[in-house]
Amino acid sequence: MTLSSRIRSMKKETLEDRENQLNLLHQEILMRREGLLHTSGNSLRQSTHSLASTGTVGPADASIRNARLLKDVELLNQTLQEELNMAPSPRFVTLQNNYWSMVRGLLPLWEQSLPGQRSSQHQQQPQKAAGKSVRHARSTK
């Protein structure tokens, strides 16, 4: 046996091994596919069956369901009205007071920073001068 024939036989064996591996993988994929098709078919039949069973609701059943829904809505409205009429918790009142005091404190600063809203020229000029001095100090360093 020559060297070239040995190489060909080795390549042939390698290719046959690879083909066997691919055939096994192909069979495994087919089995998985069949299982998935079976599972999806079962779930489709179940959902179709459940839709068919719930889809055939008579007028009496619908009116009972509607009455329950109306009762639930009325109960929720009543609960919401009771909660709205309750006094707020002390923690909420404290948070609310702190928020509004912060807003009252920051409102003048915010109004001063708005362009075109110069209610007090006297307060604007010292801030501009201070800003220029800071910029001038940075540029001279």
Q: What is the pLDDT along the chain (141 residues), one digit of tens a residue?
A: 788 888 888 888 889 999 999 999 999 999 999 999 888 888 888 877 776 666 566 788 889 999 999 999 999 999 999 988 988 899 999 999 999 999 999 999 999 888 876 555 444 444 444 444 333 444 443
Residue closest to 97 by CA, chosen among 84, 108, 88: 88
pLDDT at 76: 95
pLDDT in the model for residue 48: 74
Can you give the pLDDT at residue 51? 61
Q: What is the pLDDT of residue 99?
A: 96
Cα-to-chain-centroid distance, residue 10: 57
Structure tokens at 110: 């915010």
Contacting residues for 135 by C-beta, under 8 A, at least 6 apart: none
**Distance between CA 131 and CA 139 in Å, rounded?**
12
